Amino acid sequence: MTSDKNFILKGNICYSEDAHTLRTVEQGFLICQNGKCAGVFHSIPQQFQDFLLIDCNDKLIIPGLIDLHIHAPQYSFRGLSMDLELLDWLNTNTFPEEAKYGDLEYAKKAYQIFAEAMKRSGTTRACIFATIHGPATELLMDLMEETGLKTMVGKVNMDRNSPDYLCESGAQASEAETILWLSKTRGKYQNVTPILTPRFIPSCTDDLMERLGRLKRKYKLPVQSHLSENISEVEWVKRLCPSTGCYGEAYDQFGMFGGEEKTVMAHCVFSSEQEIELIKKRGVYIAHCPQSNTNLASGIAPMRTYLDLKLNAGLGTDVAGGSGESIFRAMADAISVSKLRWRLVDSSLKPVTIEEAFYLGTLGGGSFFGKAGSFLEGYEFDALILDDSTLSHPQPLSTRERLERFIYLSDDRHIAGKYVDGKRIF
């Protein structure tokens, strides 16, 4: 029975059972058996009595956080030039920076910073955009493998409406580079898998999307992209794809919108009723990125609607639309922007609750990776140990109150330990 993947964490345990139910167990026992959760108990059950007991004392223990949308090459300019809307921001800030990743030396310097930050963060699983460059994307995957985090990383596809210096030379070339990248990275890693990543409809010709759709089916690959983020972008897609009923259909017509393999779409700020129906039908995941939608003046996604419809949804930091990699911050922002939406846009849609925000950042996004983001039995053992002892207060606080405070007040200093798949990361 002894194994380094058989152990027990003792502490104040919090996890989502579903979107509305946060379970807290004070001084409870969280069992890890062969890298999977074997449940949360008030005392140690007989069959686990010989497991190593790790006492986290008064600390909080929660599931690892899930980032459904982050751009690794944009980490270098987080917190910079936050004064533009999406399409101008892409042309002024993003594309010139992403072009630098053709240079492997630069890519190494920048991606090391990103990988180190992700390792130190509360995130245990993430969907990551790289750039159009196959070699730099493989390098990023090598670095992410070393962190121990479970990630899906995508070489970006772009063959139209992009600056010359960041545009692949046609659909065939883009496909060929993608196949080469897949041949080098599929099955190479224990922790990292490739994910197909057309940047967004405006950047990809129909020919390219058709080819990517075939690759998706051939290799059974998941897909990540952007959807209905910004008003100008949505109008642009309408002009580019006049025959599709909604932006989502522009992906769906090529089989690049959920179905058998999972798809995650960032934003969905301006999804029409028709699009929302298609998202539900195809089981597409929504990566809600509240800070990015604010920083790029996009708007506020109707998360109350998506939660009520029980759509698949989680949170994304969307660095560098979002300025940092903290999913705790994304939880707080999901709540606060939903309050502004309630006040300023539609008072029939109630703000997101703390239970729902925590769910989105853990179990909600976690199911994109299978059984992840909770301490329910059989789930992957991803856990954070949180030390809030330096967040001083004069009054007694319940475990739930401590968790709420942590979401608003913590930073990486307060993350005392992290496990992914039963392995200790730090």
Residues forming contacts to its own copies in the complex (CB under 8 A) are: 76-83, 97, 100, 106, 109-110, 113, 116-117, 291, 294-300, 323-324, 332, 335-337, 339-345, 351, 353-354, 392-395, 397, 401, 404-409, 411, 413
Q: How many CA atoms lie within 13 A of 22 on its CB side?
A: 22
CB closer to its own copies, 54 vs 297: 297
CB closer to its own copies, 237 vs 300: 300
Q: What are phi and psi of 382, to 5 degrees?
A: -110, 125
Closest contact distance (angstroms) between CB of 106 and its own copies is 6
CB closer to its own copies, 6 vs 293: 293
Closest contact distance (angstroms) between CB of 335 and its own copies is 7
CB closer to its own copies, 121 vs 295: 295
Closest to 125 measured CA to CA, from 156, 147, 108, 155: 147
Burial letters 373-406, b for 16+ CB under 10 A, else e: bbbbeebbbbbbbbbbeeeeeeeeeebbebbbeb
Closest contact distance (angstroms) between CB of 135 and its own copies is 17
Phi-psi region of 161 (alpha: psi -120 to 50; beta: other; left: phi over 0): left
Closest to 348 measured CA to CA, from 305, 293, 319: 305
Closest contact distance (angstroms) between CB of 158 and its own copies is 22
CB closer to its own copies, 34 vs 81: 81
Closest contact distance (angstroms) between CB of 260 and its own copies is 37
CA distance 171 to 174: 5
Cα Rg of the chain, angstroms = 21
Dihedral sign from CA coordinates of 166, 167, 169, 173: positive
DSSP 8-class letter at 196? B
> Could you tell me the end-to-end alpha-carbon distance of the chain, in angstroms, rounded to an integer?
24
Closest contact distance (angstroms) between CB of 66 and its own copies is 22
Structure tokens at 329: 């911050």
Burial letters 178-198, b for 16+ CB under 10 A, else e: beebbeebeeebebbbbbbbb
CB closer to its own copies, 348 vs 395: 395
Burial letters 304-329, b for 16+ CB under 10 A, else e: bbbbeeebbbbbbbbbbbbbbbbbbb
CB closer to its own copies, 117 vs 420: 117
CB closer to its own copies, 203 vs 291: 291
CB closer to its own copies, 55 vs 116: 116
DSSP 8-class letter at 237? H
Closest contact distance (angstroms) between CB of 60 and its own copies is 14
| DSSP string for residues in 308-357 | HTT-EEEE---BTTBSS--HHHHHHHHHHHHHHHHHHT-TTSPPPPHHHH
Closest contact distance (angstroms) between CB of 40 and its own copies is 24
CA distance 228 to 210: 21
Closest contact distance (angstroms) between CB of 132 and its own copies is 18
